[in-house]
Amino acid sequence: MDLAGKNVVYLGGFGGIGQKTCSELLERQLQALAIFDLTLNEEILTTWQSKFPNTKIFYLKVDITQRSDIEAAYKEAVERLGHLDLVVNGMGLMDDRHIDLTIQINLMGVINSCLIALEYMDKSKGGKGGMIVNISSVAGIQPTPLMSVYSAAKHGVTTFTRCLAHPPYFDIMGVAFVTICPGFTETPLLNDLADKITFKFETPMALRKAKRQPPQVCAENFVKVIEKAQNGTAWLLDVGEIKEIEFPVMWIPQLALAVFDLTLNEKILTQWQLKYPNTKIFYQKVDITEKSQIEEAYKVAKERLGHFDLVINGMGFLDDRRIVLTLQINLLGVINSCLIALEHMDKSKGGRGGMIVNISSVAGIEPTPIMSVYSASKHGVTAFTRCLAGPFFASSGVSFVTVCPGMTATTLIDNMQDRTIYKFDIPAELDANKMKRQSVQVCAENIIKVVQQAKNGSAWLLDVGELKEIEFPVMWIPPMES
């Protein structure tokens, strides 16, 4: 973040690390600095105000254990500044004799401060986005037995910050979350260590001997990190050095995959089950032209999985000589599957929301004369998906996404000349056999990328290995009675 001209809130700004970091921040030509702290340090405040006359600097009293204090301070800061760009949660207490207070200041305080700050910064609520930096500790990435309660609170801070950095949250709110983990830094926090440890029988020799960095060095590195940090990053600031922290993945949620298809491919199913033993994978027979079978399949999936988050309607049929079947599979099948899936996923009906991805085609965005019936059915899919993404289903919490693959090397497009309704010779420019094809693997990888990033109502062209969001021209606006 380029700090010049920014509005900053620093919680704990008069503490050991806070004072030095605020001074460093002020050197970057901030527009404003609001210090939230338990007590005012008038001397420091006036020194800053006279040294940095172009920056609006003020203090607001906040006891971080009192939610009402935090709310009032953010409200006043926003009233005075208009908006906030950067928040640093830098207050802290290390004293394991006071269990409740340790958790209240270090963890609850950070959680409350973040969530209240978001009320003003969240782009989806009219804010301008920005960055929230939470000061955790080395004790927040490595269990520190001498300070077990403090260490627990700081692990909580690290985790909470990493959770809020979840990319889909960032996409919606536009607020980046960054974790800072200082090592031992010479501040009042470390005073009387021996009295503040969890168990008296321990001697804090290890801590006494641990190398300490001056707060000035920590502050300089801290501001360097703020200037370059990306959402979700965590930084170790120890013995005068800066190091980005990499976290091992300790757990991934158990997945489940229900495959609905006309016929079972037992070999593939067994291969998947062996390769992904932690994923519940099962097959359910569905002839998509039979509504009762679709209903039954979703019912079974719901019973076995509890809920489903993602549905991909990927069935398809291409043979223009069989008009009814083409429309039944490609269009009616998608419509029925969407509406039945919605019954289970719709939040307003007790579902959990999610995403429904319908696989249309390039033939669903551009008339494709060689396969006119198929093209008509796929245009129907595109339109139906875009309709469901509209306001009528907003309360369902289900987003609808269209995927339009170009020619992809599957059996669907083999011998195209035998699958048309035309008896005459196919002109070269319409000859599907001569069109470039992408591999199934590339197409599959791009479908997953779409699932990971697509917003409700978006449509995606997946052609010749490339991925492109489709923009639709507005073809008609209803003329209204005045």
Tokens representing 239 are 């013995």
Say how many residues make up the chain.
482
> Can residue 327 be called a binding residue for ligand NAD (CB under 6 A)?
no
Compose the 104-143 pattern: x for residues touching ligand NAD by CB under 6 A, - for all others: -x-----------------------------x-x------
# binding residues, ligand NAD (CB under 6 A): 27
Question: Quick check: 215 and 186 in contact, CB under 8 A?
Answer: yes
Task: Work out whether strand 310-313 and strand 354-359 pair parallel, antiparallel, or are unpaired.
Answer: parallel
Report 26-55 residues binding ligand NAD (CB under 6 A).
37-38
| Calpha distance 6→223 (Å, rounded) | 13
Tokens representing 91 are 């207050």
Of 111, 131, 160, nearest to 229 by C-alpha is 131
Alpha helices in 285-414 (DSSP H): 291-305, 323-326, 333-345, 372-388
Q: How far apart are the first and last CA of the chain?
A: 49
Closest separation in Å from C-beta 87 to ligand NAD: 14
Question: Quick check: 162 and 133 in contact, CB under 8 A?
Answer: no
Q: Which is nearer to ligand NAD, 70 or 345 (CB)?
A: 70
Tokens representing 193 are 């260590």
Provide the greatest CA pair distance for the chain: 94
| Calpha distance 75→330 (Å, rounded) | 54
Q: Which is nearer to ligand NAD, 38 or 312 (CB)?
A: 38
Question: Quick check: 36 and 13 in contact, CB under 8 A?
Answer: yes
The region of 12-20, 281-289, 291-299, 332-340 touching ligand NAD under the rule CB under 6 A is 12-20
| DSSP-derived 3-state class of residue 213 | strand
Closest separation in Å from C-beta 165 to ligand NAD: 18
> Can residue 146 be called a binding residue for ligand NAD (CB under 6 A)?
no
| Calpha distance 33→251 (Å, rounded) | 40
232: left (phi over 0), alpha (psi -120 to 50) or beta: left
The region of 9-17, 302-310, 399-407, 472-480 touching ligand NAD under the rule CB under 6 A is 9-17
Q: Which is nearer to ligand NAD, 37 or 122 (CB)?
A: 37
Name residue 463's beta-bridge partners. 466
Q: Find the helix packing angle between 16-26 and 42-51, rounded to 10°.
A: 10
The region of 89-97, 224-232, 311-319, 449-457 touching ligand NAD under the rule CB under 6 A is 89-97
Closest separation in Å from C-beta 97 to ligand NAD: 15
Q: Which is nearer to ligand NAD, 113 or 330 (CB)?
A: 113
Closest separation in Å from C-beta 283 to ligand NAD: 53
One of 65, 151, 284, 313 touching ligand NAD (CB under 6 A):
65
**247, amino acid identity:** F
Closest separation in Å from C-beta 454 to ligand NAD: 38
> Can residue 71 be called a binding residue for ligand NAD (CB under 6 A)?
no
Question: Quick check: 302 and 348 in contact, CB under 8 A?
Answer: no
> Can residue 152 be called a binding residue for ligand NAD (CB under 6 A)?
no
Q: Which is nearer to ligand NAD, 90 or 333 (CB)?
A: 90
| Calpha distance 12→94 (Å, rounded) | 14
> Which one is catalytic: 150, 276, 283, 298?
150
Q: Which is nearer to ligand NAD, 66 or 348 (CB)?
A: 66
Of 241, 351, 244, nearest to 305 by C-alpha is 351
Compose the 182-201 pattern: x for residues touching ligand NAD by CB under 6 A, - for all others: x-xx-xxxx-----------
Report 406-435 residues binding ligand NAD (CB under 6 A).
none
Q: Which is nearer to ligand NAD, 92 or 127 (CB)?
A: 92
Is 150 marked active-site?
Answer: yes
| Calpha distance 358→288 (Å, rounded) | 14
> Can residue 90 be called a binding residue for ligand NAD (CB under 6 A)?
yes
Q: Which is nearer to ligand NAD, 17 or 114 (CB)?
A: 17
Closest separation in Å from C-beta 132 to ligand NAD: 14
Q: Which is nearer to ligand NAD, 172 or 190 (CB)?
A: 190
> Can residue 14 be called a binding residue for ligand NAD (CB under 6 A)?
yes
Closest separation in Å from C-beta 176 to ligand NAD: 19
φ/ψ (deg, to 5) at 254: -70, 130
| Calpha distance 438→407 (Å, rounded) | 6
Closest separation in Å from C-beta 93 to ligand NAD: 5
| Cα 360 from chain centroid (whole Å) | 26
Closest separation in Å from C-beta 384 to ligand NAD: 53
Which residues belong to the active site? 150
Q: List residues binding ligand NAD (CB under 6 A).
A: 12, 14-18, 37-38, 62-65, 90-94, 105, 135, 137, 182, 184-185, 187-190
